[in-house]
Amino acid sequence: MPSEVLSAAPAATARPGAPARHLIEVVGVEKIFGDVATGHRALEAINILIEEKEFFTLLGPSGCGKTTLLRMIAGFEHPTTGEIWLQGKDVASLPPRERPVNMVFQNYALFPHLTVSQNVAFGLEMLRWKKADITARVQETLSLVKLAHFANRKPAQLSGGQQQRVALARALAPRPQVLLLDEPLSALDLKLRKEMQFELKRLQRETGITFILVTHDQEEALAMSDRIAVMNTGRVQQIGTPEEIYDHPTNRFVADFIGEANLIPGESLGRRADAIIAVRPEKIEIARPGVTPRISGVVDVATFLGSDTLMEITIPGGRLRARIRGAAKLPQGTEVGLVWETEAERELLD
Amino acid sequence: MLNKRSAYWLILPAVLVIGIFGAIPLFISLAYSFMSANPYGGVQAPLTFGAYVQMLFDQDFDGSLIFMPDYFWIAFRSLYLALATTILSLVIGFPVAWYIVCQSPGRRKVLLTLVSLPFWINTLIRTYCWILILRDEGLANKLFGWLGFISHPLPLLYNQGSVLLGLVYTFLPFMVLPIYATLERLDPRLIEASYDLYANRYQLFRRVIWPLTKPGIAAGTVLVFAPALGSFLQPDLLGGGKQLLIGSLIEMQFTSSRNWPFGAALSMLVTFAVILSLAWQRWRTKRAAAAQAA
C-alpha cells in the first residue's frame, strides 16, 4: 500500500512539533542546475501549500520551471535548497519509489512490451500485492477510465486518447496520495482535449486524490483547477482560484498571461505615471452620448464575430482591444469614448 | 511508382551477393561432404556417407566399425566453449553497453570507437599479443611477480582458460554493439516510470530493461556464438594445439590431413548447430508473441 511505502521510508523524518496542516508544503525551494554559482537557476523561492483533494495547477510558459517543480514532487529532481513536506514528512531527498505519489508522463511512457492490464498492474506488483487483489484493482481502475474492454491490448494498438487513459489508470491503480500530471493533454487534438478535461475532473472527484497538473494552456487551467499557481522565470507569480487569478491579477505578467488584458499606462488615464492599469477587453464599453469617457481613441479595425465585435482602438500612448456586445457598426477612423466599471480594472505597480 | 517486375530487378544485387557468397559455397560444402577424399587434396567419386560415419566410428583393418568418441568430445568441447564465450560476453558486454549509453553523446562516440578499434588490427596479430601477455615470462606474470603475488610463473597460457579468454576478447564487440543499439533506443522515461511505480533497480532491469533489449541480446548471442563455434585461431594459438576444437579440426582436414569430405561434413555439423540455435530462438520469440496475444 502506498501509505506503507511512505512509512517504510527510512530517511523520512516526522516534522518536530506542529502537526502537518497541509498535504504538501513546498518551503523555500530553489533549484540550480549545474554549478551553484554559475548554473541555471530553474526555481527560486518557491513556497506552495497544497490541500487534500485539491485540483492544483502549475501554469506558465515553457521554461518557467513548472515541470522541474513537478518532477521534484515526484522525486526525479532534488531541490538545491528548501524542503518538500508530504503528509508531515520531509521527502525532498527521498527517491520516487519511496513517495506515495504517481505520475502521468507527458507522452505517457507506457511499457510497450506489456498489455494494458499488465501496465496498470505494474505498480501493484512492485508493491508485492496479492495476485487476487491486483486483478480486482486492475479491473476496477480500468473500468474507472472506461477501458475494461482493452485489457489485453498492447499500447501500440490503442489511439492517443486510449493510451492517455491507460497512463491515468496505471498511475491511479496504487491509489497514491497525489497524482502528478505533466502536460497530459498536450498530445491530444482539441475535441479530445476538451473531453479529457471533464474526464480528469470526474476522476479526481471520484477518487478523491489530490491532482497536481502542469500546463501552459491557461484555458485548461481555468477550466479544471481548484487553485492555480502562475509561474514565470522560476518564480511563483500568483496563487489563487481561477476567478481570483482572472479577475484580480497581482502583476503585469499574470494579467497578460491569463486571458486577454489591455495594459494601459497610468499616464494616459491621468493616474500615477509608474502604474499600469489592466482592463479585460470584454469589460470595455463604448460611452453613450453625455457620459464622460475614461479614455478616447480612434477605431482602427472592427471585426464582427457574431455575438461580439472585436475592436482595435488607437489611444494616446498605445492601442487597446475592446470586445463590444452585438454588432457595433463603427467605420475605421471613428472617434469613440470608452468606459468601464471601476471594479473591472486593476492597478498594477510593476 | 515501381511495378512488381522492376521491384524484382532491384533486389537482384542482394540475391546475387547472398547466392554467390553464401548459398553456393554452402551447397558445394554439402556436396563435398558426400564424396570421397582425394589423397592429394580435393574430392573424387564415389558418393558415400563415409565422412559422416567417420565422425563417430573408426574403420578397423577388417572393415568393421569401432565406436570412437574422440570427435564427439571435440564437438562437445567446442559447443561448451562457444556457449561459455557467449554467456561471458553477455555478462561483460551488457554493463559495458549500459555504461556507454549513460554517457554524454560526445563520450559515447569516443567509447564506441574504442569498442570497435580492435577491428582495425588483424585478429592473428591480436591473438599473438595475448601469448606475449600470458606466457611464463610474459607481461602478466612479470607484473604479478613484481607485485610479489607469486614466486613462480603461473601457467596462464595453453589451457582452456586462455582459449576462452581469447574467444571472449575477440567476440565481445559483437555482443556490445547490438545491445548498445537497442539500449540507445530505450525511452529514458520508461525508467522513470518504473521508479515512479515503486520498482527497485533489480525489478527495473528484470521487468523493463531486459525484455525491451531482448532483440539486441538475441542478435549479439548469434553474432558471438556462431563464429566462436567455428573458430580455430584462438584454440590453436592460445590452446597450444592441446585443446583441439572443431574449427581447428576442420582446418586440419583441408590442410595437413587432406580429407576434404570429412572437413566439409564437420563444417555441415557446425552449420546445423547454428541453424538449430537460430530455430530455437525463433520458436521462443514466436511462443512469447503467441502467449501475449492470447
Q: What is the pLDDT along chain B (294 residues), one digit of tens a residue?
A: 557 777 788 888 999 999 999 899 999 999 999 988 888 877 787 888 888 888 888 777 777 788 888 888 888 988 999 999 999 999 999 999 999 999 999 999 999 999 988 888 888 888 888 888 888 888 888 888 888 787 777 787 888 888 899 999 999 999 999 999 999 999 999 999 999 999 999 999 999 999 999 889 989 998 999 899 888 888 888 887 776 788 888 888 888 888 889 999 999 988 888 888 888 888 887 887 776 555
Answer whether B190 sits within 8 Å of A102, measured CB to CB.
no
- Whether chain A has a CB inside 8 Å of the CB on B203: the answer is yes
Domain boundary residue among A194, A228, A252? Answer: A252
Identify whether residues A248 and A285 lie together within a single domain: no
Answer whether B197 sits within 8 Å of A74, measured CB to CB.
no
Look at residue A8 in the predicted model and tell me its pLDDT: 33
Answer whether A96 sits within 8 Å of B195, measured CB to CB.
yes
* Residue corresponding to grid cell 547490438: B178
Q: What percent of chain A has pLDDT over 90?
A: 52
Q: For residues A140-162, give the mean pLDDT.
A: 92
Per-residue confidence band for A14, with pLDDT thresholds at 50, 70 and 90: very low
Cβ proximity of A103 and A74 under 8 Å: yes
Identify whether residues A286 and A243 lie together within a single domain: no
Q: How far apart are CA B268 and CA B262, in angstroms?
A: 10
Average predicted confidence (pLDDT) for chain A = 87
In a domain, A73, yes or no: yes
Identify whether residues A307 and A206 lie together within a single domain: no
Q: Please list every residue in chain A whose beta carbon sits closer than 8 Å to the beta carbon of residue B288.
A: none
DSSP 8-state class, residue A97 = G
The residues spanned by each domain of chain B are 78-293
- Whether chain A has a CB inside 8 Å of the CB on B285: the answer is no
Identify whether residues A206 and A281 lie together within a single domain: no
Identify whether residues A201 and A319 lie together within a single domain: no
DSSP 8-state class, residue B159 = S
Look at residue A12 in the predicted model and tell me its pLDDT: 39
Domain with A40, as residue range(s), is: 2-100+176-252
A67-81, A177-191, A322-336, B253-267: the lowest-pLDDT one: A322-336
Name which of A111, A114, A168 to mutate to probe chain B: the one with the most chain B Cβ atoms within 10 A of its Cβ: A111
Look at residue A115 in the predicted model and tell me its pLDDT: 94
* Residue corresponding to grid cell 497512463: A167
- Whether chain A has a CB inside 8 Å of the CB on B207: the answer is yes
Please write down the long-range contacts of A285-291, taking CB distance under 8 Å and 24 or more positions apart: A285/A322, A285/A324, A285/A338, A285/A339, A285/A340, A286/A322, A286/A324, A286/A328, A286/A330, A286/A336, A286/A337, A286/A338, A286/A339, A287/A336, A287/A337, A287/A338, A287/A339, A291/A337, A291/A339
Identify whether residues A280 and A237 lie together within a single domain: no
* Closest residue in B to A180 (Cα–Cα): B196
Identify whether residues A90 and A16 lie together within a single domain: yes
- For domain B78-293, the CATH superfamily is MetI-like (1.10.3720.10)
* Residue corresponding to grid cell 515526484: A74
Q: How far apart are CA B285 and CA A70, in angstroms?
A: 39
Using DSSP, state whether B69 is helix, strand or coil: coil
The phi and psi torsions of B249 (rounded to 5 degrees) equal -60, -45
Cβ proximity of A25 and A83 under 8 Å: yes
* Closest residue in A to B197 (Cα–Cα): A123
Look at residue B1 in the predicted model and tell me its pLDDT: 53
Domain boundary residue among A252, A271, A300? Answer: A252
Look at residue B294 in the predicted model and tell me its pLDDT: 52
In a domain, A115, yes or no: no
Count how many domains chain A has.
Answer: 2
Name which of B186, B190, B196, B285 to mutate to probe chain A: the one with the most chain A Cβ atoms within 10 A of its Cβ: B196
Identify whether residues A296 and A233 lie together within a single domain: no
Q: First vs last Cα of chain B: how many Å apart?
A: 39
Identify whether residues A243 and A272 lie together within a single domain: no
Using DSSP, state whether A235 is helix, strand or coil: strand
- Whether chain A has a CB inside 8 Å of the CB on B213: the answer is no
Supply the CATH number for residue A285's domain.
2.40.50.140
Cβ proximity of A339 and A300 under 8 Å: no
Using DSSP, state whether A216 is helix, strand or coil: coil
Per the model's pLDDT, the better-predicted residue between B61 and A266 turns out to be A266
Cβ proximity of A2 and A174 under 8 Å: yes
Per-residue confidence band for A139, with pLDDT thresholds at 50, 70 and 90: very high
Q: How far apart are CA A224 and CA A212, in angstroms?
A: 11
Look at residue A268 in the predicted model and tell me its pLDDT: 80
Q: How far apart are CA A211 and CA A224, in angstroms?
A: 10
Identify whether residues A337 and A285 lie together within a single domain: yes
Q: Is residue A9 predicted with pLDDT exceeding 60? A: no
Look at residue B100 in the predicted model and tell me its pLDDT: 95
Q: How far apart are CA B164 and CA B149, in angstroms?
A: 24
Supply the CATH number for residue A71's domain.
3.40.50.300
Residue A97 CA from chain centroid, whole number: 25
Answer whether A97 sits within 8 Å of B195, measured CB to CB.
yes
Task: Look up residue B235 and give its three cell numbers.
Answer: 584454440
Look at residue A267 in the predicted model and tell me its pLDDT: 79
- Whether chain A has a CB inside 8 Å of the CB on B211: the answer is yes
By the 10 Å C-beta count (0-12 exposed, 13-18 middle, 19+ buried), A300 is classed as middle
Task: Look up residue A331 and give its three cell numbers.
Answer: 467605420
Q: First vs last Cα of chain A: how many Å apart?
A: 48
* Closest residue in A to B188 (Cα–Cα): A109
Q: Is residue A3 predicted with pLDDT exceeding 80? A: no
Per-residue confidence band for A2, with pLDDT thresholds at 50, 70 and 90: very low
Per-residue confidence band for A350, with pLDDT thresholds at 50, 70 and 90: low
Identify whether residues A289 and A340 lie together within a single domain: yes
Identify whether residues A93 and A193 lie together within a single domain: yes
Q: Is residue A1 predicted with pLDDT exceeding 80? A: no
In a domain, A222, yes or no: yes
In a domain, A313, yes or no: yes
